[in-house]
Structure 1
Amino acid sequence: MKKYIACLVLFACCSPLFAQQALVSATSVASARTIKAATFKWAVKTFDFGKIAANKPVTHEFTFTNTGEEPLVITSVQASCGCTVTEYSKDPIPHGAQGFVRATYNAARVGVFNKTVTVNANTAESAVQLVITGEVVE
């Protein structure tokens, strides 16, 4: 009976050591997957239009390069409000190639604006927010 209890205690003490090795292996696998994933490298993620005239829409094109190993596919692009219209690269972007997200703001209301455009793709970070700002004047 004493041998049985001693074996149980030994097993209980050693089992966490095996679990930690498995955890390290899982982390290594996850980081290896991240390296191979498609990756955005944006020229800029924020753009300030400055002062713009009322009732004249303005457009900015955000450009990016896929620095990952897998082709980058944008699944959706959503503006924070209906006053901003978006266009984007629809085809897969291979490693080293460039793509774009274009945001057009309808400058109908006078005042300062700060709008976001959320880009969802097959990247490790999955969603990226782009920002456009400015001030509409009469």
Structure 2
Amino acid sequence: MKYQILLVAALLLTACNRDKAPEAGAEGLNAAATVVSDAANPVVDNPNVVSENELPNPNAPVMKFAEAEFDFGDIKPDSKVRHTFTFVNTGKSPLLIEDATASCGCTTPSWTKEPVAPGASGKMEVQFDSRGKQGIISKQVAVRANTQPGITTILIKGNVLDAATKTTNPL
């Protein structure tokens, strides 16, 4: 027990050491980021974020959804519902969706896999499975593409009816 307490204390003390300078060639999630430090205010340069003094790429693709949110209304229990979001590339170069991830395993996105030319449209279908769900739902889908910003979020919502009464669940 005594050794366990000493081990936990040692881990906490080393984990909280914020004065340690980053090592050259650091591995891990932040390996691409570089640290520019001024003693009082360290700044992390994230290559995925456009900085304030850097102009956005005027030739980048732009994903413009016809609607960013869809309400299914009442959803029957143990059913699957779908909605297709459409978007237009209003930018000046081809748009390519890299990935789309939902905030819950009950929500599944599928999308246009081919590059979407400037002025052309694409689709993002979102399916929601109400099995095991009840009441008000709100699920986000983060669409990662070669746009600026790199992530666009769309939303589905609805009300899954109570399986026993087939009516809305009072809050």
- Answer yes or no: same fold by TM over 0.5: yes
Distance between the aligned counterparts of 1:83 and 1:124, measured in 2? 28
Tell me the residue number matched to 1:93. 116
Tell me the residue number matched to 2:158. 134
Q: In structure 2, what residue type is equivalent to 1:64?
A: F
Distance between the aligned counterparts of 2:70 and 2:96, measured in 1? 23
Deviations 1:102-123 (A, max 9, x none): 1100011221100000000000
In structure 2, stretches of 5+ residues that fail to align are 1-52, 167-171
Tell me the residue number matched to 2:49. none
Tell me the TM-score normalized by structure 1: 0.76
Tell me the residue number matched to 1:78. 101
CA-based RMSD of the aligned residues comes to 1.5
Tell me the residue number matched to 2:90. 67
Q: In structure 2, what residue type is equivalent to 1:57?
A: K
Residue number among 23, 26, 30 corresponding to 2:55 in the alignment: 30
Instruction: Compare CA radii of gyration and give the structure with the larger one.
Output: 1
Higher relative contact order (CA 8 A, sep 6+): 1
For residue 55 of structure 2, give the secondary structure of its aligned residue in structure 1: helix
Which structure has more strand as a fraction of its residues?
Answer: 1
1:121 maps onto 2:148 in alignment: no
The percent of aligned pairs where both chains have the same amino acid is 37
Distance between the aligned counterparts of 1:83 and 1:89, measured in 2? 21
In structure 1, stretches of 5+ residues that fail to align are 1-26
Q: In the TM superposition, what is the alpha-carbon distance from 1:42 to its structure 2 partner?
A: 0.8
Q: In structure 1, what residue type is equivalent to 2:155?
A: V
Residue number among 81, 94, 99 corresponding to 1:58 in the alignment: 81
For residue 36 of structure 1, give the secondary structure of its aligned residue in structure 2: coil
Q: In the TM superposition, what is the alpha-carbon distance from 1:85 to its structure 2 partner?
A: 1.0
Large movers: runs of 4+ above 2 Å: none
Distance between the aligned counterparts of 2:141 and 2:65, measured in 1? 14
Which structure has more helix as a fraction of its residues?
Answer: 1
